[in-house]
Amino acid sequence: MKYYSTLRPLFIGCTPKPEGNDRIINYDEPKFIDSIGRVAFGYFETDKKIEYSNFDLIPEMQVWTVTYRVMKNGELKYKIRKDNLDFLPELKLGE
């Protein structure tokens, strides 16, 4: 998940200590980021959940789309999409 810095470029102390595959990216100049709806100086990317308010960071919004179809036999078919990656969950109606 990406956490954006809207107040300043990222430097030591602006993010949790990077570990493993964590990345800190600063842009050459601030740019508008659609997923947060504002201008950012860069982002911290990590696989872990962080307490982003402690670091003045804004989390990237997660957008989910659910489409469904009721078949003639009454069966409900649905698809959940996140960030253009499709998957069909193994859930049954009523769960």
- The answer for 52, left when phi > 0, alpha when psi is -120 to 50, beta otherwise, is alpha
37 in a domain, yes or no? yes
pLDDT number for residue 63 = 62
Number of domains in the chain: 1
64 in a domain, yes or no? no
What mean pLDDT, rounded, does the chain reach?
80
92 in a domain, yes or no? no
pLDDT number for residue 40 = 94
User: Can you give the pTM of this predicted structure?
Assistant: 0.62
22 in a domain, yes or no? yes
- The share of the chain scoring above pLDDT 90, in percent, equals 26
25 in a domain, yes or no? yes
DSSP H or E run through 78: strand 76-82
Query: Which residues form the domain of 30?
Result: 2-59
78 in a domain, yes or no? no
Tell me the helix, strand and coil percentages in the chain, rounded to 5: 5, 45, 50
